[in-house]
Amino acid sequence: MKRQGLSGVHADKLFEQVYDYLLEGIRRGDWKTHDKLPSVRALALELNVHRLTVFKAYQLLKQNGYVYVKDKSGYFVQPSGLLPESSWNDPIVSAYVQKSHLSEIHQVQATYQFSKALIDPNLLPNLYFSEYVKRVFDLYPKVLGTYSTTQGDQELREALCRYYTERFRFYLTPDELMVTSGSQEAIDLVARVLVKPRDVVLLERPTYSPAIDVFLRQGAKIVPVEIRQHGYDLEQVERLMQTHKPRLFYLNPTFHNPTGFTVPREQRKRLVELAEKYQCLLIEDDPCRDLYFAQEPPLPFFAYDTSGYVIYLRSFSKYVAPGLGIGTIACRPSLMAYLLSAKALSDSGTPLLNQKIFLHYFFSERMQQHLQKLRTALAIRRDIMEEELAATDWEWSRPTGGFNLWIKLPDSTPMEKLLGTCVEQSITFVPGTICDPQREFATWIRLSYSYLNEQQLREGIRKFVGQVRVLMGAADA
Ligand SMILES: Cc1ncc(COP(=O)(O)O)c(C=O)c1O
């Protein structure tokens, strides 16, 4: 098969094409039962695709019982069960889907998951969750017998409004708050409602990779805004707003993903003024605000907004209970009406059971104690990662909250190769290019210290540093 065969109509689903290609070969008898299949490296070279793509195709073949792995020496054809009908170029299975770069990396099973900006499940108060589940069923015996309203449970919205007002001076009414299934859904809803093809969208550079994918899917013209340790160059932002007349600016200004930077207080008020002046909505995505290691971060942009130019997205997935998947959108009523229509077309309401469990757990004393412990545990993991990286000459800025180190590797790092060999060694990380709307940052990576326990963290980083050194040595030789 030639490269052309893989990059045609189905370019978004490259690994599925490699999967189909291998399955076709097995079906045709090119490889017979117990035959060894080409190595990940060889096939990637032959098909001119990334090794991760081939690896994913093999993982899926294994999962579906068509191949097996022997003594770590490669993939072999499984004695055949029934092979499915050929789906090669089948018009029924082709679809119009925007690629999600980050989720492709997350699908790789690995021991050392530095790609996941998620809490280690062992750090959550798992033992106590059943108490809250029981309490919810006692208080609301019919909770599973009904949908939530599309906007979200009234009791939860009222409680969250009080919380936002007390903590951040938001002055919201429950009508101005919607409960979503996490922030990802919130970004998607906002994009669907506000962005049409060729609208200009400002995105930080780097940024949260799935946000790029969502706005690209809407057909937006993306204009990047550099984010640095001390925020933005506001003159640049004003120039961009003046020249491009953007529809919106999606930003993640507090313990930013992937850099960990926090935009300072002075810039927040000023940027809200610019948004108003140039009629550019600010979409403030704020999932990590509570995960600070020393000082509490400045108030959200939303607190400075008096004219409805800020839409505030808040996720609680990151540290309360990822499995509940609760987030919120705060915005003014005129926009809320449109968001409600979009949400109703998507899922007619975030599951009520999740909302009620969240309500009872989030506002409990135990939650506050848990949060304190979590901050300490995360700060320790950040320190461990930094300690293990101290012997390298790589560059990064120390994050004061959140989950990630954003690291500059040496300029000559062969990134594609590194990703491939790391996956083979059961290590994953996020390559910088997928966090950049311009697809640069080729020698930057995001390593998350939040998902692995302390021992795995040390082991994994040592292995990772070793891999880079081996590759660099090979490159120098
Ligand atoms: C900046 C940012 N926005 C949104 C999300 C998605 O949040 P959720 O898991 O609530 O959908 C994440 C998750 O990593 C994130 O880092």
Of 348, 364, 380, which closes a domain? Answer: 364
Q: Do both 288 and 400 map to the same domain?
A: no
Separation of CA 287 and ligand 1 centre (Å): 6
Q: Is the CB of 206 under 6 A from ligand 1?
A: no
What CATH number should be reported for the domain holding residue 375?
A: 3.90.1150.10
Of 344, 364, 384, which closes a domain? Answer: 364
Q: Do both 343 and 378 map to the same domain?
A: no
Separation of CA 210 and ligand 1 centre (Å): 9
Q: Do both 256 and 338 map to the same domain?
A: yes
Q: Determine the pLDDT at residue 21.
A: 84
Q: Do both 303 and 447 map to the same domain?
A: no
Q: Do both 179 and 224 map to the same domain?
A: yes
Classify residue 421: in a domain, yes or no.
yes
* Cβ–Cβ under 8 Å, residues 451 and 462: no
Classify residue 373: in a domain, yes or no.
yes
Q: Do both 184 and 305 map to the same domain?
A: yes
What CATH number should be reported for the domain holding residue 338?
A: 3.40.640.10
Q: Do both 24 and 54 map to the same domain?
A: yes
Classify residue 134: in a domain, yes or no.
no
Classify residue 107: in a domain, yes or no.
no
What amino acid occupies position 351? Answer: P
Separation of CA 113 and ligand 1 centre (Å): 17
Classify residue 153: in a domain, yes or no.
yes
Total tally of structural domains belonging to the chain: 3
Q: Do both 168 and 93 map to the same domain?
A: no
The pick from 119, 180, 208, 346 for probing ligand 1's pocket by mutation, whose C-beta has the most ligand atoms within 8 angstroms, reads 208
Atom number, ligand 1, closest to the C-alpha of residue 256 = 1
Written as tens digits, the pLDDT of the chain (477 aa) is 333 334 333 444 788 888 888 988 887 778 888 899 999 998 988 887 888 999 999 998 988 888 999 877 899 998 865 565 554 555 555 556 666 788 888 888 899 999 999 999 999 988 899 999 999 999 999 999 989 999 999 999 999 999 999 999 998 999 999 999 999 999 999 999 999 988 999 999 999 999 999 999 888 999 999 999 999 999 999 999 999 999 999 999 999 999 999 999 999 999 999 999 999 999 999 999 999 999 999 999 999 999 999 999 999 988 899 999 999 999 999 999 999 999 999 998 999 999 999 999 999 999 989 999 999 999 999 999 999 999 999 999 999 999 999 999 999 999 989 999 999 999 999 999 999 998 899 999 999 999 999 999 999 999 999 999 999 886 555
Q: Do both 297 and 259 map to the same domain?
A: yes
Of 62, 97, 132, which closes a domain? Answer: 97
Q: Is the CB of 180 under 6 A from ligand 1?
A: no
pTM of the model: 0.81
Q: Do both 252 and 304 map to the same domain?
A: yes
Q: Do both 192 and 291 map to the same domain?
A: yes
Classify residue 148: in a domain, yes or no.
yes
Q: Do both 200 and 325 map to the same domain?
A: yes
Q: Is the CB of 315 under 6 A from ligand 1?
A: yes
Separation of CA 337 and ligand 1 centre (Å): 23
Q: Which domain holds residue 413?
A: 112-123+367-476
Classify residue 133: in a domain, yes or no.
no
Classify residue 201: in a domain, yes or no.
yes
What CATH number should be reported for the domain holding residue 82?
A: 1.10.10.10
Distance of alpha carbon 84 from alpha carbon 80, whole angstroms: 11
